[in-house]
A and B are shown apart, each in its own frame.
Chain A
């Protein structure tokens, strides 16, 4: 009861402050919430941006592809590096070094390679999502108690069975945490990619509104994008809690 009330209070306070600041400053640049609301209505009524729905769907599709690729490559690399000492010793440090590079420096070259359309956004979303998933697999593998593996072996488990019945459940919580972070970063990658340069998708709409100083439309578009991001994370956290209940 008190938590939602406190949350609502900070939101109201924030909106009031925003309104106050916007009214005393230049309302074209500092658009007040009272102007965003009608803009939001026009956006949802498909008046200001009739191609909102296809843009949203395109962005969603890019995210899905990027995330699916990040999961496949992340799990593959993570298990290869974590389960095979030689491969881990050879490539682990390279992975860590690459992870230390701020990912956005790769983006211009991704656009050169993949062009201005969906492919470069997918590539960037993939790149951002890939690392947390790989690292979660590596951390998860380190978490598996060697004693559990001995117990399984004593009862006759072969390597594949040990993997499925012992390793995966033992590391599940960490793994799902990494998958959640990976999703959040894939979403961010795709959207940032679109904003940095694209002809379609939510990022392109945001850029358009921003470029024409249609600030209230711009804020409305950002809000829609925000719903997408928060919604996907909420979904992931639901899955995470499920996994937690199961493992612990």
Chain B
């Protein structure tokens, strides 16, 4: 069993005041080491829930989740780091101090963690912003700090929940290129959630389309093409059409439900 992440028949039901919501239904998937695996699907289909389970923040009702062969049982910052949809930075910490957060929790001495975080700021394009507080940073920069915070603890796996969802198109494209660069250099395993077809096709080694709630894996697209990808090539345009037809029905279903 060479898969780094294994999800087997996982289901999740939230109990709310207006009745139970079935967020995930019998989801199974696996992700190999070094993959850039993207989940795409209509909003509310349980993508964040699934990522939360992988990060040990949400418990599954049924099924099991394995990371590196061991069952997930609470957050494990030694193996898994998460980048949240809204950066979730601590407003009373500078960019540098935010990046240091995970190392601080692990008891890394001050000098050492400062050195690690400072070294990360360069490739993150944050060198001039080390002493700035989150409120002084643009959305794109904040998201980079959040990515830096996740990279700093140097885990094998990084979970990213729509990290560029709140950014404008241009910034988003640039951040995508930048993330690709980092991923290719670090060879981490990424599980990525996005709404953007472009992002999914430009970045992933594999795309999983989820159904409207309750979420299931509807289809899986393997993308073995090299990077950077020519997004206007006939092959990519055809893939985009395939992906869109898979998502379109589910999005319509999700909209009809509202």
Contact = CB atoms under 8 A, between A and B. Distances in A.
B96 to A, nearest CB: 16
Interface in A130-181: 147-148, 150-151, 153-157, 161, 165-166, 169-170, 172
Interface in B149-200: 149, 153
A147 B105 contact: no
Interface residues of B, number: 24
Interface residues of A, number: 18
Interface string B104-145: 111000000000000000000000000001010000000000
A166 B75 CA distance: 17
B35 to A, nearest CB: 21
A156 B55 CA distance: 11
Given A147-B86, A150-B57, A248-B135, 19 more contacts: A147-B88, A151-B88, A151-B90, A153-B57, A154-B77, A154-B82, A154-B84, A155-B81, A155-B102, A155-B105, A156-B77, A156-B78, A156-B105, A156-B106, A157-B105, A165-B104, A166-B90, A246-B92, A248-B133
Contacts of B78: 156
Contacts of B84: 147, 150-151, 154
A153 B90 contact: no
A246 B105 CA distance: 20
Interface residue SS majority, chain B: loop
Contacts of B90: 148, 151, 166, 169-170
Contacts of A157: 105
B92 A155 contact: no
B92 A154 contact: no
A247 interface: yes
Nearest to A243: B92
A96 B86 CA distance: 36
Nearest to A161: B105
20 contacts: A147-B86, A148-B88, A150-B57, A150-B84, A151-B82, A151-B84, A151-B88, A153-B57, A153-B75, A154-B57, A155-B77, A155-B101, A155-B105, A156-B75, A156-B106, A165-B104, A165-B105, A247-B91, A248-B92, A248-B133
Contacts of B57: 150, 153-154
